[in-house]
Structure 1
Amino acid sequence: MKIVTQVKLIPEAGQAAALAATLRTVNDLATWVSEVAFVNDVPREYELRKHTYAHLKASGLGAQAAQHVIKKVRDAYTTLHANLRAGNYGKPGSKRRRKVDSKPIAFRSDAAQPYDDRCLSWQYDAQTVSIWTTAGRIKGVPFACSPHALTTLQQYRKGESDLIERDGSFYLIATCEIPEGAPYEPDSFIGVDLGIVNLATTSTGYQAAGRGLNRYRKRQLTLRAKLQKKRTKSAKRRLKERSRREQRHLKNTNHVIAKTIVTEAERTSAGISLEELKGIRRRVRLRKPQRVTLHSWAFAQLGDFVVYKAKRAGVPLVFVDPAYTSQTCAECGHIDKRNRVDQGLFICRGCGVVAHADRNASHNIAQRGVTVWNAGRESRVPATP
């Protein structure tokens, strides 16, 4: 299982200038390579290398750095074409699709640059790195991270690391190969209903209320609007200081929720049943005031955290179809959209049971998880002669 670990570099002034110049250079050259690929319609990395490698070397890049720039461009076009095929930029002939498909990909000056072990070496005991730059190799650049992250790097780091610049600071994003936990046969399944008012509700009674988080996000939105309206230097400085603060807060909240759910499942020898929510933004139609809330709702991040923590702990996990889980009675199975009286109240029109709406949905998700797990287990069992 692959995860990423982030460390913050603490370079001196000269080292920071060299790192910034390196990122600017490689991304400017990546934009040039992208233009070559677009004009010549070069579909393969090998062909693209023939057109660009000599120029990259003459521009001061090392052999490995030049290869990484070419591969980065080729990967960017592969992702673009996959998104076009999937319709993520609209239907063929749409204005947005034509705009994306009619010009080469451009790279920001601070975009990430991949490094392999030839360009980057780690000294874990000293907590320093030796890294290639266009000004030469810089040795002894300190980095900071948590003790847990340092242990993870020492034991499991494998493959490339990305150098990024964010708000004047430099970070290395390292790929780590973490072994998955030994799976077990679950005694039951915990259904997890994801929402906005309640971020997560489980069939075992755990509920992560979203009221406090929603208030926090509303305050941040109001504050940003006020600062943006002032347009003064101090307001811009405050905006920069507060940038990504909400993302970090939400990420930490999702980590805590995911860890609580996985720990409960591991303690009770249960599996986890999650809703398959891919494409929900395209399926759901909302009024304009509700769209901001939905599109800034990090349910995908919370789901990803639950998945990787479950794999690391060996907890069985399945995805189920979320259709009608909020309209179906977990007691009798009666389906009626009128069963969902309001956001928090469920009253079955078939058997009359009264329950919390999210709790009822989580029980339905748990039941579907058992069905999916048993169906998958039966399909893996060979037929008896």
Structure 2
Amino acid sequence: MKLVVRVKLLPTPVQAAALEATLHACNEAATWAAEVAFEKDARRPLTLRKHTYNQIRERWGLGAQAAQHAVKKTCDANTTLRANLRSGRYGRPGSTRHARASGKPVVFRPEAAQPYDDRMLSWQHTENTVSIWTTTGRMKGVKFTGQADQLEVLAAHRQGESDLVCQGGKWFLIATCEIPEATLNARPVGFIGVDLGIENIAATSDGVRHSGRQINRKRANDRRQHTKLQKKNTKSAKRRAKNRAGKEARRNKDINHKISKRIVAEAERTGRGIALEELTGIRERARLRKPQRVTLHSWPFAQLGVFIAYKARRAGVPVVYVDPAYTSQECSQCHHTARNNRPDQARFACRSCGFVEHADHNASHNIRRRGWMAWVCGAQSTAPELTLIA
């Protein structure tokens, strides 16, 4: 199982300047290589290397490995671009957007990520330092930090290349780790149903609602501030909106990590599996008023599902996905399904048996039951191969 660990570098001002110069040189070389690839239609690394390798080393002073990575990065970017063009992400062939994307070479940002292999980067885990190649020479003793559990995973399971990244003036190394999977619990005693919703981000069949007034107030304040900045439409307002968007995304990601950790820990402790909704089309299925639409669209439910899945895979907890159709209208006791079973957003009241419960918990009970049936019928636990530890 692959995980990606991000550690923060703590360079001195001199070291930071050297890292910045290195990133700029590598990305300028990659941009020039992309122009050559566009002109000569050189798609494969070996072909492009014949046209660019020597010039990159002489012109930008890159080492052999850095020059190789610049060429490979260019080829990988072109491969991704062609795949996006084929999939229609840039519109139909002949459209303005498609022509704009396909009619010019790829351009790399000055501070785009640069891959480092073991010849260019070495880790000293006992001292929490790295020795890293730069255009000014090998730089030793660059400090790094991170959470204790992340550093343990990094020291024990790191494999392959690491990426040097600069984000907002801060430096990070992103490393891939190959960790052994836990033995899957093939005989769970039951399942925890998880319902994803508007007022409550996640509600479980154990009666726990993962949300709260404080989070919802912050989300409402974020929407108000975003609307206010959009109306101003000045350069400073756009800059502030961009900064706020990054802050909101980081906070949402942190909340999703905490929610997923609690759900998986409870399932592992009690020997149960986790039943999740299939998220495909979640926004199209929901029929909501305009204010509720904004609330629904503003939360990264897919990210929460990925976090639950990969944490469950690490813990050996089975995960199944069920069709969420009518889970909010079906009674979890007598299974009578009717639209008027839900008189309002928060309350469920069955018109057949009289059962009354919070609507999200009733839906989570139905998801739990469907998850158990899916497991009995042979559903397999699935989780993504690659994710990010923030």
Which category describes the TM-score, using the shorter chain as reference length?
0.7 to 0.9
Per-residue CA deviation, residues 204-239 of structure 1 (Å, 9 max, x unaligned), is 211112542231133345456667859798x99988
The correspondence for 1:194, drawn from 193, 196, 200, is 196
1:5 aligns with 2:5: yes
Contact 1:189 1:273 survives alignment (8 Å): yes
- The structure whose RCO (Cα within 8 Å, separation 6+) is larger is 2
SS in 1 for 2:26: helix
Change in CA separation of 1:232 and 1:50 when aligned onto 2, cut-off 3 Å: closer
Per-residue CA deviation, residues 332-382 of structure 1 (Å, 9 max, x unaligned), is 33443443333212233454433322112212221221222222269xxxx
Contact 2:252 2:299 survives alignment (8 Å): no
Residue matched to 2:385: none
Change in CA separation of 1:106 and 1:301 when aligned onto 2, cut-off 3 Å: same
Residue matched to 1:259: 261
Residue matched to 1:323: 325
Change in CA separation of 1:295 and 1:241 when aligned onto 2, cut-off 3 Å: closer
Residue 199 of structure 1, CA deviation: 0.7
Residue matched to 2:64: 63
Identical amino acids, percent of aligned pairs? 58
Contact 1:197 1:211 survives alignment (8 Å): no
Contact 2:320 2:379 survives alignment (8 Å): no
Residue matched to 1:277: 279
Residue matched to 2:80: 79
Amino acid at match of 1:245: K
Matches of 1:3 and 1:46 in 2, distance apart? 30
Residue 125 of structure 1, CA deviation: 1.2
Between stretches 68-77 and 221-230, larger displacement belongs to 221-230
Residues 178-189 of structure 1 mapped to structure 2, 5 A cutoff: 178-184=179-185, 185-189=187-191
Contact 1:327 1:339 survives alignment (8 Å): yes
SS in 2 for 1:318: strand
Residue 110 of structure 1, CA deviation: 1.3
1:44 aligns with 2:44: yes
The correspondence for 1:371, drawn from 346, 370, 373, is 373
Residue 200 of structure 1, CA deviation: 0.5
Residue 46 of structure 1, CA deviation: 2.9
Change in CA separation of 1:104 and 1:124 when aligned onto 2, cut-off 3 Å: same
Residue matched to 2:134: 133
Residue matched to 1:250: 252
Change in CA separation of 1:372 and 1:96 when aligned onto 2, cut-off 3 Å: farther
Gaps of 5+ in 2: 381-390
Matches of 2:342 and 2:64 in 1, distance apart? 62
Residue matched to 2:176: 175
Matches of 1:64 and 1:355 in 2, distance apart? 62
Residue 291 of structure 1, CA deviation: 5.3
SS in 1 for 2:22: helix
Between stretches 350-359 and 277-286, larger displacement belongs to 277-286
Amino acid at match of 2:22: T
Could you tell me the TM-score, scaled by structure 2's length? 0.85
Residue 16 of structure 1, CA deviation: 0.7
SS in 2 for 1:370: helix
SS in 1 for 2:166: strand
Contact 2:3 2:178 survives alignment (8 Å): yes
Residue 44 of structure 1, CA deviation: 2.8
Q: How many residues align?
A: 377
Residue matched to 2:217: 215
Matches of 2:351 and 2:42 in 1, distance apart? 62
SS in 1 for 2:111: coil
